[in-house]
Chains A and B, each alone.
Chain A
Amino acid sequence: MLVEIRFHGRGGQGAVTAANLLANAAVREGKYAQAFPYFGAERRGAPVVAFARISDEPIQTHSRIEHPDIVVVLDPKLFELANVTEGLKENGIVIANAREKPDVGETFKVYCVDATSIAQSIGLVVSGWPVVNTVMLGAFARATGLVKLESIIEAVREQFPGKIGDLNANAIMKAAESVREC
């Protein structure tokens, strides 16, 4: 089965890294995966997207994802700034960095996690920006069951060894505990 995922973030927030880490985690479980950015003329702070595919079989296609099964939204403001549910499949899943349910209509399954507060509470902040991308992957793993939490943590630790890896692992677990359908 092929699952297509779109990440929405703001330039510098790590949407591309999140997509890459998710692919890495899936490959660790023997699945096939692909992650890719879309580069327009974005600058730090502007809305950006990144994509991932996870499948039990080798992935042939390289075209853009028009109809994702899941969208992950890294910043609550993006619900106002971008059309985050564009093309999302009916009964698609939204995983939101949000305290309360964002206004995306009633047809999607929506999960909320306050990733910003989790990152801030454990000091996962870089240049004043709470690091929410890895946190959201913890919520993703728990909400979808597509990849194991351990695989996400392993992928994150590979890219960010040492103390930063520990902080991220901690945040990922906290996100998995607190993510709720909303």
Chain B
Amino acid sequence: MVVKTLTGNYAVAYAVKLARVNVVSAYPITPQTTIVEKLSEMIEKGELNARMIRVESEHSALAAVYGAASAGARAFTATSSHGLLYMHEVVWWAAGSRIPLVMAVVTRAIGPPWNIHVDHQDILDQRDSGWIIAVAQENQEVLDLTLQAFKISEDPRVYLPMMVGLDGFILSHTTAPVDIPDQELVDSWLPPRRQPYIIAPESEVVMGNIAPDEDHFMMRYSMAASMEAAKKVIEEVDREYGEIFGRSYGGLVECYKCEDAEYFVVIMGSWAGDAKKAVDTLREQNVPVGVVRIRFVRPWPREKLLEILSGAKGVLVFDRAVSMGSTGILFSEVAQTLYPLNISLKGLVAGLAGVDVGPSRIEAEILKFIKQTEEGAIYTPTEWILPEKYAGRYPSSPKEVIAK
């Protein structure tokens, strides 16, 4: 064990090295690039015995690791934003083929307008694809979660690929202390990759061929069942990791100051830290509020959330991604989970394109929500926290411009 100050991206690279990955392929994109740069350096120095496949696009990068994994290799790729969208077809191929893989997604807004800063639009765009999707809060968790991703993805009960999300710049380019586990300990915990069949030039297996409709249907059914099974595996891996490496995060969700809470903030990613700080301040004023941090979006932690939130007076959801024409994406998930219960519920869309939302703003929103709820339970699916620069005014609409 050694503590180093690492960026979130380097924390990913160290985890990939500890997992003894055999094949890496990626195409550069901000803010992901330094992950594969570091891996490339590790391979070049002989610290990691892996093959780096250079490709001309993200579509090919994921296709390359998908092929390598089908052939039995432990494989890894990483991307962000437009790169992830460009991969989207292969994202579905990998999950539908039931090929364990790990991909780091350095979360970033999708253009236009062009933007390199954090939001969760890119990773949440993949939520129906059949990948396990998790998002970290801190650099230490980035390393731990990336390591765990190999174990979860390759578990025979799961056998689905997994994305590990880390917030662009806020984690990817921020240095913080990271405890790097010993290689021997990782080796004793993470077994070599096993798979029921491999696809090699001499093997008599095909993949992706046209199949009877009923077979396709049953593949989807079996993926859904594995997603359900993954919930248990994720909790197991988190506990086991805690016993061996000394760090557990709560599995599917992390609950912060939840025990006697009456109000809850639901949030995901690095700004959950700011929410915790807001809750610390409010707790000093005896405001009974806690933070439920979504760690896994897929599988969605329905049962766990019901367990935590069923007695709540109010739930306030912070979303860093929105489904245009509907609500914040986490909000819709939380709302369908809490559907039968009569709980005051509000969704806030904020922090898109990296617009800063600090603890004091979160604190104010919590107090406002509590006050509203005390006057009677509310149901507000979407309220936008506009950037300070635009508070109180909207940019011109096409209609107004044409009228001029």
Contact = CB atoms under 8 A, between A and B. Distances in A.
Interface of A: 19-20, 23-24, 27, 32-37, 39, 59-64, 66
Given A23-B175, A33-B176, A35-B174, A62 B276 contact: no
Given A23-B175, A61-B273, A62-B271, A37 B358 contact: no
B277 interface: yes
Contacts of B174: 34-36, 62
Contact of A32 (B177, B357, B358): B177
Interface string B171-205: 10111110000000000000000000000000000
A20 B5 CA distance: 8
A36 B169 contact: yes
Contact of B177 (A20, A27, A61, A63): A27
Contacts of B280: 60
B276 A60 contact: yes
Given A23-B5, A35-B174, A60-B280, 18 more contacts: A19-B175, A23-B175, A33-B175, A34-B174, A34-B175, A34-B176, A36-B173, A39-B116, A61-B274, A61-B358, A62-B270, A62-B271, A62-B273, A63-B357, A63-B358, A63-B359, A64-B356, A64-B358
Contact of B5 (A24, A39, A63): A24
6 cross-chain pairs, A with B, having the tightest CB-CB distances, nearest first: A63-B358, A36-B174, A60-B273, A24-B5, A62-B270, A27-B177
Contacts of B117: 39
A59 B176 contact: yes
Nearest to A31: B177
B3 interface: yes
B23 interface: no
Interface in B295-328: none
B291 to A, nearest CB: 10
A66 B276 CA distance: 19
Contacts of B356: 63-64
Interface residues of B, number: 24
A23 B139 CA distance: 14
Contacts of B358: 61, 63-64, 66
A64 B361 CA distance: 12
Interface of B: 3, 5, 116-117, 167, 169-171, 173-177, 270-271, 273-274, 276-277, 280, 356-359
28 contacts: A19-B175, A20-B5, A27-B3, A33-B175, A33-B176, A33-B177, A34-B176, A35-B176, A36-B169, A36-B170, A36-B173, A36-B174, A37-B173, A39-B116, A39-B173, A60-B274, A61-B274, A61-B359, A62-B167, A62-B174, A62-B270, A62-B273, A63-B271, A63-B356, A63-B357, A63-B359, A64-B356, A66-B358
A137 to B, nearest CB: 14
A63 B270 CA distance: 9
B175 A35 contact: yes
B170 A62 contact: yes
Nearest to B174: A36
A61 B116 CA distance: 21
A9 to B, nearest CB: 16
A27 B270 contact: no
Contacts of A37: 169, 173
Nearest to B173: A37
Contacts of B171: 62
Contacts of A36: 169-170, 173-175
> Which of B3, B5, B117, B273 has the largest count of A CB atoms less than 10 A from its CB?
B5
Contacts of B170: 36, 62
Contacts of A39: 116-117, 169, 173
A58 to B, nearest CB: 8
Contacts of B175: 19-20, 23-24, 33-36
Contacts of B277: 60-61
Given A36-B173, A62-B273, A27 B5 contact: yes
Contacts of A34: 174-176
Nearest to B114: A41
A154 B357 CA distance: 35
A20 B116 CA distance: 21
Nearest to B167: A62
A62 B359 CA distance: 9
B9 to A, nearest CB: 12
A175 B210 CA distance: 71
Nearest to B359: A61
A48 to B, nearest CB: 13
> Which of A39, A63, A64, A66 has the largest count of B CB atoms less than 10 A from its CB?
A63
